[in-house]
Amino acid sequence: MKYGLIGGRLGHSFSKIIHERLEPDEYVLKELTPEEVAGFIRERGFEAINVTIPYKETVMPHLDEIDGAAMAIGSVNTVVNRGGRLSGYNTDLFGFTALLGKLGIDVNGKKAVILGTGGTSKTAYAALRQLGASEIHKVSRTPGEGVIDYAELYERHLDAQIIINTTPVGMYPDCDGMPISLEGFKSLSGVVDVIYNPLRTRLVLEAMERGIPAGGGLYMLVAQAVRASEIFRDKVYPEGVTDEIYDALVRDKESIVLIGMPSSGKSTVGARLAELLGREILDTDSVVVEDEGCTIPEIFKEKGEGYFRDAETLAVKKCAARGGVIVATGGGAVLRRENLTALRQNGRLYYLDRPLELLIPTSDRPLSSDSSALRKRYTERYPVYTAAADVRVDGSGSVEEVANSILGDFCK
């Protein structure tokens, strides 16, 4: 191959998309076993490659020269073949620093903790030192030289001002994972999670809910890829390229999530959005029916609302984990906090605010099967919908009007 990425598991990598947006050359994703890495590097059958987990340190002994910054960090993620000599670089440092700038997180003079001890942890450590952090602690399940465990973190370092997660906890497909809770950390001024799939991990969402500047690793991924491509080709891209690719990638990977009352048009508007954007639509109620093998009224009648809500949560998490789709939710899906968290990981939530007088009770919706029940649900849920939504959309118009209103916001 000419250009590409080597790593352990690459099925959900965004690197190919980013590099092929930058240049027309094919960029190959190549999964290797640990036993295959040395042979692949020795063969030198490439012009330039990127390296990801878990081989950022593994490749280093097989290179002819290593850039000073990469050697100091102890991690290489970019290798260039120049006439048979392999040179190693670390563009993650550039990407991580760019991410901090994008999020507006100033680490100068701050106490920081880094969760994890792998190659990306080393990069984060180098960046924090370079940017003037006053105190840095690495955290792992197994303590060692220069590394504390999580018990010590909670006992002695709840005054940390910056938290960086470099572990894979919370990464797709295990999106429920969370390396730590932010409860008790009262001095935080920034939280970074280098995971980029999902777009927002539970750790990032918890920080955002607390009003703490926070973000995932997608911008870092794009920034380091741009820098790597510059090293590949010995060129400099125009200012703004990183932001352009990042914005486009977020639009591609972020889902449109429709919330609102039964009969507010979520399924029909969702179907139209799917047509306009060429995306798949996922309906959480339909997923429940498919998984359970019976209708929702039958579930309510035979197993009760509690059972349905549990099944709905499983359906919501299944749909929410998919990026770049349209998700039409059931009317009560946002009543559970865990559902909201799942939907926010990859989605932007649009509340279809259709006036009560335009809503229609139907027998297939057990909690709003008549006008009285519908009115009661509307009164109870309206504040929940408005609080949950990223954007409130006037749902009184036609399907086309509502869909275009959502598109106008989503694509701006």
Active site residues: 56
Contact 350, 393 (CB under 8 A): yes
Contact 249, 17 (CB under 8 A): yes
Tokens of 26: 């094919």
3-state secondary structure of 311: helix
In the chain, the amino acid numbered 298 is E
- Using CA atoms, how far apart are residues 338 and 181, in angstroms rounded to an integer? 15
**What DSSP designation does 234 have?**
T
Distance in angstroms between the alpha carbons of the first and the last residue of the chain: 37
Contact 75, 92 (CB under 8 A): yes
Specify the residue for token string 């919908």: 385
**What DSSP designation does 172 have?**
T
CB atoms within 10 A of CB 67: 18
- Using CA atoms, how far apart are residues 214 and 191, in angstroms rounded to an integer? 5
Nearest to 284 by CA among 362, 242, 339: 339
SS (H, E, C) 71-122: HHHCCCCEEEEECCEEEEECCHHHHHHHHHHHHCCCCCCCEEEEECCCHHHH
Tokens of 139: 């955290």
